[in-house]
Structure 1
Amino acid sequence: MSEVLLVVGLLVAVFVGYNIGGATTGPAFGPAVGANVITKLAAAALMSIFFFLGAITIGPAVVTTLGEELVTDTSVFTLEANVAVLFFIGGALFLGNRAGVPASTSMTAVGAIAALGLATGELDWAVLGEIVIWWVVAPIIGFWVSGVIGRYFYPAINAWVAIEDGEGEEPMLSVSLEGVVPTVRTPDGLDRRGTAGAAVVVVIGCLMAFSSGTSNIANAIAPIYATGDVGMIPLILIGSAAVAVGCFTIARRTLDTLGNDITNLPLTAAIVVAVVASSIVIVLSAIGIPASFVVVATMSIIGLGWGRATRTTTLTDARRGEETAVSVGALTAEEEGEPAPEIGEEETDDIPSASDLFNPSTTARVILMQNVVPIISTVGAFLTFRFLPIFGF
């Protein structure tokens, strides 16, 4: 019976990994696909590779936190409980993916595991408190770092990078398999600067995929690892393979949402946000904290827009009490490659509103599902473990 439950648990873990692939590919490569820099197929391949690299290098630290430290007694991770935990994680993420929304896999997984610990009286509140504190602090850090970049560095970065959306049906970067060694091919007419810009977008996507692997692999395999029946490395291989399947299949929905529907975020801004958010997630993963990339990235977008908008006011003007019209839409004030006015020389009327940047209906749907998915996972798991005697708690 235990062997059957272990197989079932592994299958459910694969289901979770499949949905993680669907939920995380969009945030990582949505901008690149939306700008026609690479195809969805190429995005899936790169996501699979760099997710695995993050999972195998830094990922074990987060697996240990969720699988050994979040509960005081790992014996609560019975095979029956593992199946239920992974079912609620995967089921909740599946709902988000079906809606085309990349839900927070870290919050969903922590919620389900914490619900198990709470229902059994084995929840380590100190570890949960540390995780939650970082969930609050990390977006604040992302906001302020991006705010400083937006005010003092973003216009210069925007003028230097000058990345423009790819035109036509052919992607800006593709891989040719005609020779012995695969080579990267660009369409005719794409200059060196355009090629470099496209490469930057792809490299940043790879960084995001790596950061996703460092944090999200634990969401699929931590409960199984806690039982001691399967080793860390085999589980990472299984989980990463499942993520790859999700990248090549269900991720197409989130790629459309993040690449085309939710926002007209300039590619330069997307690059800055990706670097800031990915760096924060990688650092937190290294110390064993499962972090939500989507939440950090959202606050980074707001911070970057706020910083860019404050360029209409100098510090002297601010000390005099002059108000600043702040809008995230300030990120669309100039095109890529266009130099911005000096601080204090720009008129507030030149700053677009946030409605020029975000699609209101899609943004509302994303925000709603970002909160609903973790709640479904947490509440469903708690009620199951608390009131169904099948688990023997």
Structure 2
Amino acid sequence: MLSGLFVLGITVAVFVGINIGGSSTGVAFGPVTGSGLLSMRQASGLMAIFVLLGGFTVGTNVVETLGSGFVPAEYFTLSASIGILLFIGLAILLGNVLKVSTSTSQTAVAAVVGMGAALGVLNWRTVGVVVLWWLLSTILAFWICAFIGRYLYDAVVERLDLESRNSRLAELAVIGIGCYMAFSAGASNVANAVAPLVGSNQLGMLPGVAVGGLAIGVGAFALGHRTMETVGEDITDLSLEASLLAESIAASILTGLSWAGIPASLAVVLTACVIGLGWGRASRRVPLRSIARPDGTTASERSVQAADRLDLFDPSVTKRIVTTWIASPTVAGVIAFAAFEAAQRLNLLA
């Protein structure tokens, strides 16, 4: 017979998964819906399917890291797991309320790190490795897309010419990349909903992935439309080509991190790509051949560049997103540390 505490744990895990689904759907399919290729309901359906695929095929690596890499698995008692999941869910809910795709993996890691630090059992080496890859992946995503947006975007658009060709194959390719990003979301984010329960042996690996994946799918339908609007419409005016570029780069980065078992943030990487591409296009667009010339750009080219500035990068929206990226993990980590520190002092963890 199932205990009430176990049922509560599953309920909290589903709550976390639903909020992850709301947050991750925006970064997986925001560019696609922003380009008008899919409706939000269609995108949510694809999100639900490919999250499960990613969770079952690659997500187990990340579940192991989050469930035992930062804190020894024996410290994830059922009560502790429920507390961690609750802190994660509330912090991610903050992002969904603000219509911003929260860094779900960073929020989950921050909560676990807060627990480990309070109990004095944190593996700081794992923390260092994961944080280093967070920084590198975000910087890499932004600057690759910024460079393309500033110097190569026009050439790429001219070569692809997707709008005039109206190529169904090209549109399917963009949708396919969105599915690939959903796959990566499942690989990375299913762990955030169930890793504490799996680490404590309250759930087996495959049942845990199933619970997390299904909950994320529900969240895609219930909350995903909010963050898809922000990523696909508010940050930058995404064309079909921009969608293809941003998601291709982000998918490549996320896939590598997920295979390595790094709980990477889909929200941070893809939104960094979108912001980088928008910033690059909104800033001075200079043909690469002009930079390579000994005398640089001509006065005529500079005049054209000034007149051709694109109002595609919204600093106010970007500031709100970056603030939420920082706030959500901080809230989760601080609350988890304070709660477990207090519980330890009051001997409630025995």
Pairwise same-fold verdict (TM > 0.5): yes
Give the corresponding residue for 1:235.
Answer: 208
Correspondences of 1:304-319 after superposition (within 5 Å): 304=277, 305-306=279-280, 309-311=285-287, 314-316=290-292
RMSD: 2.7
Alpha-carbon spacing, 1:7–1:358, altered in 2? closer, same or farther (3 Å) = same
Please list the CA deviations of residues 272-298 of structure 1 after superposition, one character each: whole Å capped at 9, or x if unmatched: 111111111110110111112232234
Alpha-carbon spacing, 1:252–1:194, altered in 2? closer, same or farther (3 Å) = same
Cα distance in 2 for residues equivalent to 1:70 and 1:226: 11
- 8 Å CA contact retained: 1:312, 1:347: no
Return the offset for 1:151: 6.2
Give the corresponding residue for 2:31.
Answer: 31
Alpha-carbon spacing, 1:76–1:310, altered in 2? closer, same or farther (3 Å) = farther
Give the corresponding residue for 1:65.
Answer: 65
Structure 1 moving runs of 4+ over 6 Å: none
Alpha-carbon spacing, 1:55–1:224, altered in 2? closer, same or farther (3 Å) = same
Give the corresponding residue for 1:105.
Answer: 104
Correspondences of 1:296-311 after superposition (within 5 Å): 296-301=269-274, 303-304=276-277, 305-306=279-280, 309-311=285-287
| Amino acid in structure 1 at the alignment position of 2:98 | A
- 8 Å CA contact retained: 1:14, 1:220: yes
Give the corresponding residue for 1:170.
Answer: none
Return the offset for 1:55: 0.8
Return the offset for 1:359: 3.4
Correspondences of 1:271-282 after superposition (within 5 Å): 271-282=244-255
Return the offset for 1:204: 1.6
Return the offset for 1:372: 1.2
Give the corresponding residue for 1:329.
Answer: none
Bigger Cα displacement from structure 2, 127-136 vs 1-10: 1-10
Alpha-carbon spacing, 1:298–1:36, altered in 2? closer, same or farther (3 Å) = closer
Q: 2:267 aligned to 274, 281, 294, which one?
A: 294
Return the offset for 1:5: 1.7
Establish whether residue 56 from structure 1 lines up as the match of residue 56 from structure 2.
yes
- 8 Å CA contact retained: 1:115, 1:381: yes
Give the corresponding residue for 1:252.
Answer: 225
- 8 Å CA contact retained: 1:312, 1:345: no
Return the offset for 1:313: 6.5
Alpha-carbon spacing, 1:41–1:299, altered in 2? closer, same or farther (3 Å) = closer
Cα distance in 2 for residues equivalent to 1:148 and 1:93: 31
% same residue: 41
| Amino acid in structure 2 at the alignment position of 1:296 | V
Alpha-carbon spacing, 1:264–1:316, altered in 2? closer, same or farther (3 Å) = closer
Give the corresponding residue for 1:123.
Answer: 122
- Matched positions, count: 344
Cα distance in 2 for residues equivalent to 1:220 and 1:8: 13
Please list the CA deviations of residues 311-352 of structure 1 after superposition, one character each: whole Å capped at 9, or x if unmatched: 2664445x77x699xxxxxxxxxxxxxxxxxxx898432441
3-state SS of 1:309 partner: coil
3-state SS of 2:3 partner: helix
Return the offset for 1:391: 3.8
Q: 1:352 aligned to 271, 293, 309, which one?
A: 309
* Structure 2 residues not aligned, in runs of 5+: none
Give the corresponding residue for 2:186.
Answer: 213
Correspondences of 1:1-393 after superposition (within 5 Å): 3-71=3-71, 73-147=72-146, 149-150=148-149, 153-164=152-163, 193-301=166-274, 303-304=276-277, 305-306=279-280, 309-311=285-287, 314-316=290-292, 347-352=304-309, 356-388=311-343, 389=346, 391-392=348-349
* Structure 1 residues not aligned, in runs of 5+: 165-190, 325-343
TM-score by length of 2: 0.89
Alpha-carbon spacing, 1:276–1:379, altered in 2? closer, same or farther (3 Å) = same
Please list the CA deviations of residues 227-248 of structure 1 after superposition, one character each: whole Å capped at 9, or x if unmatched: 1121110111111111111111
Please list the CA deviations of residues 245-275 of structure 1 after superposition, one character each: whole Å capped at 9, or x if unmatched: 1111111211222222332133312221111
- 8 Å CA contact retained: 2:67, 2:199: yes
Return the offset for 1:147: 4.8
Alpha-carbon spacing, 1:258–1:148, altered in 2? closer, same or farther (3 Å) = closer
TM-score by length of 1: 0.80
Cα distance in 2 for residues equivalent to 1:296 and 1:51: 17
- 8 Å CA contact retained: 2:54, 2:184: yes
Cα distance in 2 for residues equivalent to 1:366 and 1:154: 24
Cα distance in 2 for residues equivalent to 1:269 and 1:85: 37
3-state SS of 2:285 partner: helix
| Amino acid in structure 2 at the alignment position of 1:210 | F
